[in-house]
Amino acid sequence: MIVFDWPWVFLLLPLPWLVRRFAPPAEPRVDVALRLPFYAELQAARTRGRPAAARAARWAAWLAWVLLVVAAARPLWLGEPVQLPLAGRDLMLAVDLSGSMEQNDYRLDGRAAIRLDVVKALAGRFIERRQADRLGLILFGSRAYQQTPLTYDRATVRTMLEEAVIGLAGRGTAIGDAIAVAVKRLREQPQDNRVLILLTDGSNTAGAIDPVEAARLAAQVGVRIYTIGIGSGPLGATTRFGTLTRPGTGLDPATLQAIADATGGRYFQATDTFGLEQVYDELDRLEPSDRDTRSVRRFEPLFLWPAAGALLLGLSLLWPVGRRWRFTRPGASEVGRDVV
């Protein structure tokens, strides 16, 4: 789609006609060295038989003027509209990579799967649904660090989550440090849009910050924390003789509940794949993605094309003038130069 940034410039289109119609004619020159009584007949003889060329020159001059006016109006090519979110949530996802996340007590697509693989699959689907939100990723074990800053690039966040491996940040569980990292990244974002989703299958066994104290700090800066407890069901390993199970240990529901209560969030416990999927559905309901958008268009300036056309037409009008002049060496006779 082509639009003009300055359409009022088209008011100048009749300017040459107005000048020719109403401007006073130029006074004849009186400093003529040689007066020819038959100059009018000479000019008529020079132009006789060339009315078509004269008309073409006039049309070319008019077309050059029109192209110059079009170029001055700043034509722009507008691309397809791109929808950008006007407002959304700033949502950090903190994922536990401690050693206990390699327990294969979950099932995914009908097969036994370790806890981290189930979290990756279901969290990936959750990430895809958050189209209007900025997402970030925190990975924690014995230490916590930000893997992906807040971004609208959901594909990058999901890729970074898929590439995470158990033990990458140590084999302990630093829940308090993970909350502190999230608070540091979220505290400068707009109020009421700061959300942290924390997934862990153990109690706080590492780090320098107590989880409940970190939750109180998060509450002071307006960060809501939703905690998800993984496991706590029977742990087991699948062998050719069947599945060997034992009671699950390690999860600290009381601490996770206290973290959620302190920040106005909620605590969820997902003992199996179906339960974890329901947790993400509930999070979509509790923290709906804002769908308000703003449409923007990419534009490309096109003024060079009409300007180049006007330049070529102007050069074509000057070409016959240049051919009527034969330049001579200094001091040579100028008899051969045409009289115009």
Tell me the C-alpha distance between 41 and 28, whole Å: 18
Cβ(166)–Cβ(62) under 8 Å? no
- Whether 336 is in a domain gets the answer no
pLDDT attached to residue 140: 92
Q: What is the pLDDT of residue 214?
A: 92
Whether residue 53 is found in the same domain as residue 169: no
Tally of domains in the chain: 2
DSSP of 68-118: HHHHHT-EEEEEEEEEEESS--EEEEEEE-SGGGG---EEETTEEE-HHHH
266 in any annotated domain? yes
**What SS3 class is residue 192?**
coil
**Quick check: is 339 in a domain?**
no
Mean pLDDT for 277-287 is 75
Calculate what percentage of the chain has a pLDDT beyond 90: 17
Residue 106 forms part of a structural domain: yes
Q: 328 in a domain, yes or no?
A: no
- Residue 163 and residue 222 share a domain: yes
Which of 291, 311, 335 finishes a domain? 291
Any domain includes 337: no
Residues 55 and 171 in one domain: no
Q: Residues 50-71: pLDDT tens digits?
A: 666 677 778 888 898 899 999 9
Q: Quick one: 180 and 268 in the same domain?
A: yes
CATH number at residue 180: 3.40.50.410
- Two structure tokens written together for 92: 């950090």
Which residue, among 224, 99, 91, 104, has the nearest Cα to 173 in the 3D structure?
A: 99
- What domain range is 10 assigned to? 2-23+42-78+298-323
Least confident among 50-64, 175-189, 297-311, 318-332:
318-332
Segment holding 311, helix H or strand E: helix 304-323
Q: Report residue 287's pLDDT band, with 50, 70 and 90 as the boundaries.
A: low
Considering only CA atoms, which of 102, 160, 149, 158 is closest in space to residue 131?
158
